[in-house]
Structure 1
Amino acid sequence: MASKKSSKAVAAMKEDANSSDFVSQGNVNAILAAIGSQGDELKKLIEDKMTALSGRLDALDATLVNLQSEQAGVKQKIVEIEGALNGTDSRLGEVEKVCDDLRAENKSLWAKLNDLEGRSHRLNLKFVGIMEGEERGRPSVFISDLITELFGRDNFPKPVKIDRAHRALLPKPSEGQRPRTIIARIHNDRDKDLILRLSREKFPLEYKGKRIYIFPDYIPEVAARRRAFSSVTKVLREAGLKWSLRFPAKLMLHHNGREFSFESPEEAKKFVGNLSNDSA
């Protein structure tokens, strides 16, 4: 009896084992089938992604080709612009050289023009303060007689020769307004210098009860150059030194039997300063 029961138990155990092996093998096959299905889907997904990526890469390649083409065009334009700029620089250099030459020539011409104009005025004198109509239509004769009247026949035994004389080219003033200046060209340079010296010595001058003034008729450029020596000539005048200011603006100084000339106010100031230090 016991032997039969044991045999049945062993047979049951074997049956259970066989059933368990069957279930496990089925699960494995199901898992493998699922993995295979998912692998196909993953493969399809990867292929789709690769196709999309390939398309994007193709578009990027096309864009790069376009960019390279445009860049080549830009480089060509830059080369052309550089060439044009080099040509422009060369032409500009030539223009600048021409401008420099013209500037130097213009400066030289202006200097000559000022010199000619200044020399044409150097014998002119301006008579300021003479009432309108006093010359009675004969300004040259009037100025000659006026000079004799102002400074006497001792200084001018003969009438001073006047080349020409006229009122300043301005509208005739109304009654009570300042009269126009009379500009007279003195024929002799010595007479002109003497008139100016006497006008300073006999200042103030009067004609028919009215104060009048006599000035040289320098152009503005010459007047400015001569005026630059004013501080030096003031010191020389106060020191009692003999000096003269020649045309157009050249200071002549006589000291200890020697004659010195200065065309620069700075040089003259330095020289006069040294004289003052030596005297001290």
Structure 2
Amino acid sequence: MEETPNHDVNNRLATCHTPVGNSIQQARQVLYGHTSQYNVPCNTPAVVASNVQQKLSFSDQPSPLDPRQMTNLEAVLNDIYSKLQNIDTLPNLLQSLSSIDARLGGIENRFSRMENEIVQMKNDVNRLENRVKGTECNNSELSERLNYIEMERDHIKQENYDLRERVVEMQARSMRENLLFGGIEEDTCEKEDRDNIQTEKVLQKFIKEKLNILDNIKFHVVHRLRPRQDGKPRTIVAKFERRKDRDRVLKAARDNLKDTHYSIYEQFPNEIMERRNILWPIFKREQRAGRRVRFKEDKLYVDGRRIFPQDVTYQNNRQNHSAPNKQMDRNDQQDPPFLLKHFGPPTGVNQQPIVQNM
């Protein structure tokens, strides 16, 4: 069938650049994917303004539709429907958002409190650090003061030791002219003699008869000590006027009083007597061994080397506290050579020969 001139006019009007035409073309593009012929009514403003005779013709045949386009259209409509359904849940969503907002507000408050607590903890740590620094300074000052006190203590201890030694030396000097006489029987007239005149006569008689010294020896003081616990006669203390007389009597006693119950010995302070008691066994042992021994007051010399009481006490303690089964290396021993020579190594130490020229 041939197209009529009126149909050509309609096509030309439909494709004209009018608002309605543009809308129709866009709709066709969306729905069908291409531009199709559509008869625009003749009474549109654009057609009326064209002063062209218009005739509207309609086709009885429906426009063909592509199945793929229908599927896409259904998918679009389903998507729109599903989104419209989601709009119905908007109040619940808003309520959930309100709950989430409240919870977020609570979390913000908790974080704010935590930040405040952290700041407070930092301040506490800073205060503690300052206190620790102050304590360290105080400890340093206390340590210095303690060191100073220890130095002062050692100094005072040394001074005390020196003073005690000076006192002992002064006592020893005051007793250098003294001798102690033991075993001399007491005369009955001595008990009523408060001036000790009778005691001096008894002593002079003893010196002449037992020591064979006929000279008239003079004394500063002569008296007896307190009673003895063993019931023996009280000891006589005599202070000679001359040191030579004292030494002569002491020498005569060594020669004449052997194997008798009489005894004559020097008087010393208690401190010196304690030291002599420690050194006396060493003196007797070295004397029996034939070594050069000299014993003066609290000073013992063996072969020209002095032995101190502290060395003897230390070595005795080492021997008493050494384990009998404990083996020790001689190289680890820091004992003085003299002690190793005269006392030997502690118990349990390997016995090795000691060089004689030490």
**TM-score, length basis structure 1:** 0.67
Instruction: Give aligned pairs, total.
Output: 234
C-alpha distance 190-245 of structure 1, shift in aligned 2 (>3 A): farther
Report the 3-state secondary structure (helix = DSSP H, G, I; strand = E; otherwise coil) of the residue aligned with 1:143: helix
Residue 56 (structure 1) shift: 0.9
C-alpha distance 79-108 of structure 1, shift in aligned 2 (>3 A): same
Q: What CA distance in whole angstroms lies between the structure 1 residues aligned with 2:254 and 2:289?
A: 15
Deviation track 1:199-248 (CA, whole Å, cap 9, x = no partner) reads: 3433233xxxxx43323222233234445154345443564x88653345
Pairing partner for 1:204 from 240, 247, 259: 259
More helix by share: 1
More strand by share: 1
Matched, 1:157 2:157: no
Matched, 1:59 2:113: yes
AA matched with 1:45: S
Structure 1 unaligned spans of 5+? 1-19, 206-210, 254-259, 272-276
Matched, 1:245 2:273: no
Deviation track 1:147-202 (CA, whole Å, cap 9, x = no partner) reads: 112112xxx1202222212222x4x579x944432222233334333433433433
Residue 36 (structure 1) shift: 2.1
Q: What CA distance in whole angstroms lies between the structure 1 residues aligned with 2:97 and 2:215?
A: 134
1:86-101 correspondence runs (5 A):
86-101=140-155
Deviation track 1:58-106 (CA, whole Å, cap 9, x = no partner) reads: 2112212222222222222222222222222232232222222222222
C-alpha distance 94-231 of structure 1, shift in aligned 2 (>3 A): closer
Report the 3-state secondary structure (helix = DSSP H, G, I; strand = E; otherwise coil) of the residue aligned with 2:262: strand
| Alignment partner, residue 167 of structure 1 | 224
**TM-score, length basis structure 2:** 0.54
AA matched with 1:215: Y
Residue 32 (structure 1) shift: 0.9
1:1-280 correspondence runs (5 A):
28=82, 31-134=85-188, 136=190, 137=193, 138=197, 139-152=199-212, 156-168=213-225, 170=226, 177-201=231-255, 202-205=257-260, 211-227=261-277, 228=279, 230-236=281-287, 239=290, 244-249=294-299, 251=301, 261-264=304-307
| Alignment partner, residue 25 of structure 2 | none
Structure 2 unaligned spans of 5+? 1-73, 309-336, 343-355
Q: Is the 8 A contact 1:129 1:178 kept in 2?
A: yes
Q: What CA distance in whole angstroms lies between the structure 2 residues aligned with 1:203 and 1:215?
A: 13
AA matched with 1:203: K
Which structure has more relative contact order (CA 8 Å, sep 6+)? It is 1
C-alpha distance 38-178 of structure 1, shift in aligned 2 (>3 A): farther
Q: Is the 8 A contact 1:118 1:218 kept in 2?
A: yes
Residue 135 (structure 1) shift: 6.4
Residue 123 (structure 1) shift: 2.4
